[in-house]
Chains A and B, each alone.
Chain A
Amino acid sequence: GAVVSQHPSWVICKSGTSVKIECRSLDFQATTMFWYRQFPKQSLMLMATSNEGSKATYEQGVEKDKFLINHASLTLSTLTVTSAHPEDSSFYICSARPARLPYEQYFGPGTRLTVT
């Protein structure tokens, strides 16, 4: 089956530092990956759509200079939270859409970020 991994699974960092989260499709090529954020007791909110080899498309209200997305290969997308603040503490989840199955989508296990 299609597997998506995320690393790290959880991270604690100090306010003002940057954190990089990796999303990998392990057994398929993904032309598109999506990044979501979920605050406690709230729904998943799409932050951005990441297409391999091109700039990410950010949803309204998401600061592209704060949440840097890089999709340099067909199996890897990274999200960097720059100058993190406590309000950035959240559950970050990626999903990947297989190139050969564009109507399917597979989620990574998520990364729990805590900014102190």
Chain B
Amino acid sequence: RKEVEQDPGPFNVPEGATVAFNCTYSNSASQSFFWYRQDCRKEPKLLMSVYSSGNEDGRFTAQLNRASQYISLLIRDSKLSDSATYLCVVTPSGNTGKLIFGQGTTLQVKP
């Protein structure tokens, strides 16, 4: 079983739509959680950290459920520029700096 699992998609949505991505992780001792965005043939860029209390950054809302080992990302009012692959990332316990990436979910926003 993969340590971090995501539905690869693709998710094809019209501009203005709301779309939600989910992710599950297998190690209950995982310490920190993130969503990264990766454009084609580019490096991943940090989108936001994820907390149990939930956090929002503009049109983006992330949520962590430790009991279910489940992470979500909600994008409201999708823009064409949101088209990318969204990577769910966790870190193991201990401050090793290691990042464990999910396969990524591809989003295509269409006009």
Within 8 A of B (CB), among A59-102: 91, 93, 95, 97, 102
Q: What total of A-B pairs shows CB separation below 8 Å?
A: 45
Docked complex Cα distance between A46 and B3 (Å): 13
Write out the residue numbers on chain B whose beta carbons fall within 8 Å of the beta carbon of A44: 44, 87, 99, 101
Taking a contact as CB atoms under 8 Å apart, the answer to whether B97 and A109 are in contact is: no
Write out the residue numbers on chain A whose beta carbons fall within 8 Å of the beta carbon of B4: 43
Taking a contact as CB atoms under 8 Å apart, the answer to whether A105 and B97 are in contact is: yes
Taking a contact as CB atoms under 8 Å apart, the answer to whether B100 and A46 are in contact is: yes
Docked complex Cα distance between A93 and B45 (Å): 12
Q: A42-B103, A43-B102, A43-B103 are in contact. Are A49 and B97 (CB under 8 A)?
A: yes
Question: What is the minimal beta-carbon distance from B43 to any residue of chain A, in angstroms?
Answer: 4
Write out the residue numbers on chain A whose beta carbons fall within 8 Å of the beta carbon of B42: 109-110
A-B complex: 6 closest residue pairs judged by Cβ atoms: A107-B43, A43-B101, A44-B101, A43-B103, A97-B97, A110-B43
A sample of 15 cross-chain residue pairs with beta-carbon separation below 8 angstroms, ordered by A number, consists of A32-B97, A41-B8, A41-B103, A43-B4, A43-B102, A46-B100, A49-B96, A49-B97, A91-B41, A102-B97, A105-B97, A105-B99, A108-B43, A109-B43, A110-B41
A positions within 8 Å CB-CB of B = 32, 34, 36, 41-46, 49, 91, 93, 95, 97, 102-103, 105, 107-110, 112
Contacts A34-B99, A43-B104, A102-B95 aside, 12 further interface pairs with beta carbons under 8 A come to A34-B98, A46-B98, A49-B96, A49-B98, A93-B44, A95-B99, A105-B99, A107-B43, A107-B45, A109-B43, A110-B42, A112-B41
